[in-house]
Structure 1
Amino acid sequence: MPRLFILTLSLLPWIPVVPCWVTTQNEVSVLEGGSITVPCRYDPKYANHVKYWCRGSMREFCTSLARTDETSSTNPSKDKVSIFDDPAQEMFTVTMNNLKETESGWYLCGVELGNGWKADDVAYTKVKVIHGMSVENGMVSGEEGSSVTVQCLYSERFRESEKKWCRSGGWSSCLSAGSEGSYEDTSVAISDDRTGTFTVTLKKLQMRDAGWYLCSAGQQQVAVQVQVTPRASTTEPVTSPPPPSQSAVYLPPPKPITKESWSSHRYMLESVAVCSSLLLLVGLAVLARKLWILHR
């Protein structure tokens, strides 16, 4: 029993404390040969504490890779690992360059507390180093007549592989950067920097250029959608007709003759004909009577 009590006391410093005063990203993915920058945020009370970056899934056994109390390089972009603390932003950042697939795994941001009775405050992140391809933007858009640029990223093992730009649906449409790492015609330009990126520029876009394309390096491919919007129209403004002069007289247009209007007109004509016939008969009767009286 006493041994169990002593063991419990010895583990207390390593039991996580809530709330967490250090936070970071849950996961970071990068192509092999690429770089990552991981932000690690901390509570203001840790502004003057030492910060560190280490590899491992347990803080007690992780391998230290960089510390803020060690001499920093003047060129962190070329260092394998570098760390920078910015107390004003309450954050320190870690940069890792030229990553290999074997460097995938768990890492942690840590703040050293220097207290044997309390464990350091840490936050874990998982780094995934993969080989293959990706694009900075899976969809690009441009106006008809303009140009768009696609950044195709590839991992280190495809550095010497042939780079191609293809229209989805047919390999016969592929354009290759060739051994020189470049290609250009009136509508497409391809340039491979041989360090992890080849750039495709579509020039003088036309509506028929819209669709799906593929960046290709070796056997790896990644899809890109190109959208083309119609060129803005430049039609002349529509002007209203001049107002009519005061002397002009405008008559309303004649009403069209419909079946209903024709029936109404026919009824009126028939009525006039009947009335005329009756008047004629009355007139003839009166005339005949006068002639009969004169004859007597």
Structure 2
Amino acid sequence: MPQVFILTLSLLPWIPAFLCRVTTVEDFAVLEGRSLTVPCHYEPQYASYVKYWCQGRMREFCTSLARTDDHRSANPAVDKVSIFDDPVQQVFTVVLNDLKEADSGWYMCGVEIGSAWNADFVAFTNIKVINGMSAVNSRLSGEEGDSITAECLYSERYRESEKKWCRSGNSSSCLLTGSEGSYEDTSVAISDDRTGAFTVTLKKLQLKDTGWYWCCAGQQQVALHLLVKPRPTTTAVSTTTSTAQSQVTAHVAPPKPITKDSWNSHSHILESLLVCATVMFLVGLGVLARKLWKIHKQDPVLRQVKAMKARLNEYSGDVGDLQNADVVFLNRASQEVHMY
């Protein structure tokens, strides 16, 4: 039982570290000779506390490198290590310059509590300084006909080394920078700033340019992949159509506004058309009436002719009947004799 009590007392200083921690990025990788900025976040109630940055894995054996209570003016462009606190955002940042491979290791950002019974709030991060190369973006993509730029970073010891741009699997395709640190032709331009980076600009991309490439500095190299996409044709068609429509619209004169004078001239034209239409209508009625009158005058004559034709036809029929009929003569006196 006493052993458990002693163990509990020994853990009390570390309990607040689990309840309210300082947080930061766990791992960093950076090229030799370059700079690095590390953010360390804390909770608002510790805004007025002293913050520090030290090298080591344990608080008791951590080598202090920078503190916020150090009133010397910090110059991040010159100093090896600089620390800045922003109580409003509850974050303090540490800037490391001109990193070497020997600077690789564990570091700690902490908030100093200043109490024997409470441990400082700390967060650990591992920094690895790499002697080699890296790419800002290892995946590149662009449309056919466009240009694209790849940025390749190298460590300090390769500043004076020759830089190369090669297509993977084809050693004869490598393009090298000259003594001035540059190369350019119709399709590729390489420029080395001699401070830790060189850029490769690919011009007038073609679909066949899709593939893997290498950025090289000395014996170091880093792989990049380029994807060239076909240029959409619908955009060009729609642009051409809209341009043609705009040209047609530009050549079509806008309608003239209707004014009092233009309306009077239009009304005169309408009146003339109305008079002409009325005259033509009356002339047509006169022609039609004359034809009807002629037909009306001819009707009695036609009826008489038809009546005469009918009588002649009847007469001819009666004459034929008389020729075929028997003639009987009646004698009144004989009739009387037979009756008696």
Q: For residue 162 of structure 1, what is the aligned residue in structure 2? A: 162
Q: For residue 114 of structure 1, what is the aligned residue in structure 2? A: 114
Q: For residue 67 of structure 1, what is the aligned residue in structure 2? A: 67
Determine if contact 1:163/1:217 at 8 Å carries over to the other structure.
yes
Q: For residue 44 of structure 1, what is the aligned residue in structure 2? A: 44
- TM-score by structure 2 length? 0.65
* Deviation at residue 171 of structure 1 after TM alignment: 1.2
Which protein has the bigger strand share?
A: 1
Structure 2: state its 5+ residue gaps.
Answer: 242-340
One-letter identity of the residue aligned with 1:178 = G
One-letter identity of the residue aligned with 1:130 = I
Correspondence 1:93-132 to 2 at 5 A: 93-132=93-132
Determine if contact 1:51/1:92 at 8 Å carries over to the other structure.
yes
Determine if contact 1:113/1:120 at 8 Å carries over to the other structure.
yes
**Separation in structure 1 between the aligned mates of residue 226 and residue 72 of structure 2, nearest angstrom:** 44
- TM-score by structure 1 length? 0.74
Aligned-CA RMSD value: 2.4
One-letter identity of the residue aligned with 1:194 = R
Correspondence 1:203-242 to 2 at 5 A: 203-233=203-233, 234-235=236-237
- Listed one character per residue, the Cα deviations across residues 30-73 of structure 1 (whole Å, up to 9, x for unaligned) are 11111111111101110111111000000111011111111354
Structure 1: state its 5+ residue gaps.
Answer: 238-296
* Deviation at residue 88 of structure 1 after TM alignment: 1.2
**Separation in structure 2 between the aligned mates of residue 87 and residue 15 of structure 1, nearest angstrom:** 24
SS at match of 1:208: helix
- Relative contact order, CA 8 A, sep 6+: which one is greater? 1
Q: For residue 281 of structure 2, what is the aligned residue in structure 1? A: none
**Separation in structure 1 between the aligned mates of residue 163 and residue 16 of structure 2, nearest angstrom:** 49
Taking a change above 3 Å as real, the CA distance of residues 61 and 14 of structure 1, as seen in their structure-2 partners, is farther
- Listed one character per residue, the Cα deviations across residues 212-247 of structure 1 (whole Å, up to 9, x for unaligned) are 11000111111111111112322366xxxxxxxxxx
**Separation in structure 1 between the aligned mates of residue 66 and residue 29 of structure 2, nearest angstrom:** 20
**Separation in structure 2 between the aligned mates of residue 147 and residue 73 of structure 1, nearest angstrom:** 45
Q: For residue 35 of structure 1, what is the aligned residue in structure 2? A: 35
* Deviation at residue 121 of structure 1 after TM alignment: 0.7
Same amino acid, percent of matched pairs: 68
Determine if contact 1:73/1:79 at 8 Å carries over to the other structure.
no
Correspondence 1:53-64 to 2 at 5 A: 53-64=53-64
Determine if contact 1:72/1:82 at 8 Å carries over to the other structure.
no
Taking a change above 3 Å as real, the CA distance of residues 150 and 117 of structure 1, as seen in their structure-2 partners, is same
